[in-house]
């Protein structure tokens, strides 16, 4: 035993990786765990596929998307792609999305998995909210730059001061797209019509996404997309 190992407290809890068969010697119990894990993984694969398709459909139809950020509501997606006892709530829009856009599949059983599924729903809702908070504003800025892009010749003709003013304007326009509807615009008045009435080349957020207390909240969400994906 080397000096480093001699300094380790033998009573300290620690984690050791091992095969399930070593941890759970009863083969019946191990088989039940493996079956549950397999069913949860399959259900999550199908549920996230349906959620992705339904989100795209909502964007194309200009309908609200805030329910996709609710863990409780996400259980409806799992119910739609699994089978089990009882009569769970049927969301007509979800069923229509599945019928129109998902290929035929064999749904796994959700029997005995309610706690696991709820955990997955909470995780998916948290990941979705974090992705919006961390990345959505960046993507809006990218759309604004793309929409108002100048060719190389035009950009090279700008003075240093004009380039600085242009960068500031692009940031202001992105902020105004994401602003709380009760807040004042940051961009000059001449650009306000573009922000509110020209959804042809960027996703428009109407009364939807803004930063408040370090989070992005979805309220009265109607996220309009141009079809860019």
Specify which residues 215 forms β-bridges with.
212
136-147 confidence digits (pLDDT tens): 788 888 888 888
Domain count across the chain: 1
Q: Is residue 121 part of a domain?
A: yes
Residue 63 lies in a domain: yes
List all residues 6 or more positions away from 124 whose beta carbon is below 8 Å from its beta carbon: 47, 48, 51, 71, 74
> Given its phi and psi angles, is residue 103 left (phi above 0), alpha (psi -120 to 50 degrees) or beta?
beta
Pairing of strands 204-206, 215-218: unpaired
Q: Which residues contact 118 (CB under 8 A, 6 or more apart)?
A: 71, 75
Q: Measuring CA to CA, which residue among 114, 129, 147, 151 is closest to residue 228?
A: 147
pLDDT means per 10 residues in the chain (229 residues)? 58 84 89 95 96 90 85 96 92 94 95 95 90 81 88 93 94 84 87 72 41 33 35
3-state secondary structure of 78: helix
Q: What is the pLDDT of residues 179-215, one digit of tens each?
A: 777 888 899 999 888 877 665 444 444 433 433 322 3
Give the length of the chain. Answer: 229
Is residue 81 one of the residues assigned to a domain? Answer: yes
pTM of the complete model: 0.67
Residue 160 belongs to what domain range? Answer: 20-224
């Amino acid at each position: 035993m080397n000096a480093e190992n001699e300094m380790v407290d033998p009573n300290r809890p620690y984690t050791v990786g091992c095969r399930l068969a070593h941890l759970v010697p009863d083969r019946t119990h191990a088989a039940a765990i493996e079956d549950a894990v397999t069913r949860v993984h399959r259900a999550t694969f199908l549920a996230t596929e349906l959620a992705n398709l339904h989100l795209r459909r909502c964007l194309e139809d200009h309908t609200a998307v805030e329910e996709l950020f609710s863990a409780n509501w996400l259980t409806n997606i799992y119910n739609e792609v699994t089978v089990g006892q009882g009569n769970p709530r049927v969301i007509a829009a979800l069923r229509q999305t599945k019928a129109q856009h998902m290929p035929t599949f064999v749904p796994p059983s959700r029997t005995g998995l309610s706690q696991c599924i709820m955990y997955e729903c909470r995780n998916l809702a948290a990941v979705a909210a974090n992705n919006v908070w961390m990345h959505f504003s960046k993507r809006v800025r990218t759309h604004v730059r793309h929409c108002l892009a100048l060719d190389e010749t035009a950009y090279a003709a700008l003075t240093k001061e004009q380039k600085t003013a242009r960068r500031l304007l692009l940031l202001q326009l992105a902020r105004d797209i994401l602003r709380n509807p009760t807040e004042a615009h940051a961009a000059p008045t001449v650009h306000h019509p573009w922000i509110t009435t020209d959804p042809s080349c960027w996703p428009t957020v109407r009364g939807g996404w803004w930063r408040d207390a370090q989070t992005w909240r979805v309220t009265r969400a109607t996220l309009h997309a141009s079809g860019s994906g």
